[in-house]
Amino acid sequence: MEAIVKASESKRIHPQKFTLWVAMGSIIMMFAGLTSAYIVKKNQSSWLEFDLPVVFGYSTAVILISSITIHLAAKSFKAREMARYRTLITVTAVLGLLFMGMQVMGFIDLEARNIALTGAKSNSAASFLLVITGLHMLHVLGGVIAILVIFIKAYSSRIKNYSSLPIDMIGTYWHFVDILWVYLFIFYNWIG
């Protein structure tokens, strides 16, 4: 059975994987909409110029590392090294949370520099940063929750699952939010 499945899998993409790809296209459109709005807004009057929080550089490193760990996790799963697999997905999830924490530190940093993110004093340059970065964080959170689900599955002995589909899909998604952040980081620094 496994062998047959493998053979046909390589020929044709699994419908759920395919759905994920389309969903990612959809998410791209959302961020494309927001970054386009950012550019439109920037070209109008009263746009506040300020330096990005330094911590965003470090958070970029963190999320890049987490992409490596989830990649290794998927490899261990396929090699059926379950202990290694469990450690690696845990590390990935923790890195995801760390990333989110660092983004919040970035927001605090801005507020400390008297750059209001919301409220009457705020400039939409900062508000955009909050909204776009915040939305991205929610997408990372979605990934963390997905990891939590497979994590529970990996620890419960009753459920034996040999399908690598979930970890593959989470891996794809995780790389996606990673690349999305790298895009946003480049966008904030050099494009927008």
Tokens 């963390």 sit at which residue?
144
With contacts defined by CB under 8 A, name the span among 60-68, 105-113, 160-168, 181-189 that binds other proteins.
Answer: 160-168
| 119 binds other proteins per the rule CB under 8 A | yes
Contacting residue, 50, 118, 145, 189, with other proteins by CB under 8 A = 118
Q: What is the amino acid identity at position 43?
A: N
**Is the Cβ–Cβ distance between 175 and 139 less than 8 Å?**
no
CA–CA separation, 174 and 24 (whole Å): 11
Residue from the set 19, 108, 145, 152 that interacts with other proteins by CB under 8 A: 19
Q: What DSSP line would sit under 83-125, residue for residue? A: HHHHHHHHHHHHHHHHHHHHHHHHHHHHHHTT--SSSTT--HH
Nearer to other proteins, 48 or 191 (CB): 48
Site membership for other proteins, residue 5 (CB under 8 A): yes
Q: Which of 156, 161, 186, 191 binds other proteins (CB under 8 A)?
A: 161
Q: For residue 138, state whether it binds other proteins (rule: CB under 8 A).
A: no
Element (H, E) at 187: none
Nearest to 24 by CA among 186, 192, 179, 182: 179
Considering only residues 13, 79, 148, 149, which one is a binding residue for other proteins as defined by CB under 8 A?
Answer: 13
Q: Is 164 in the site for other proteins (CB under 8 A)?
A: no
Residue 3 interacting with other proteins (CB under 8 A): no
CA pair distance 121, 73, nearest whole angstrom: 46
8 sits near other proteins (criterion: CB under 8 A):
yes
| Six token digits for residue 97 | 């949370």
Binding residues vs other proteins (CB under 8 A): 1, 5, 8-9, 11-16, 18-19, 22-23, 25-27, 29-34, 36-37, 40-41, 44-47, 118-120, 122-124, 127-128, 131, 135, 160-163
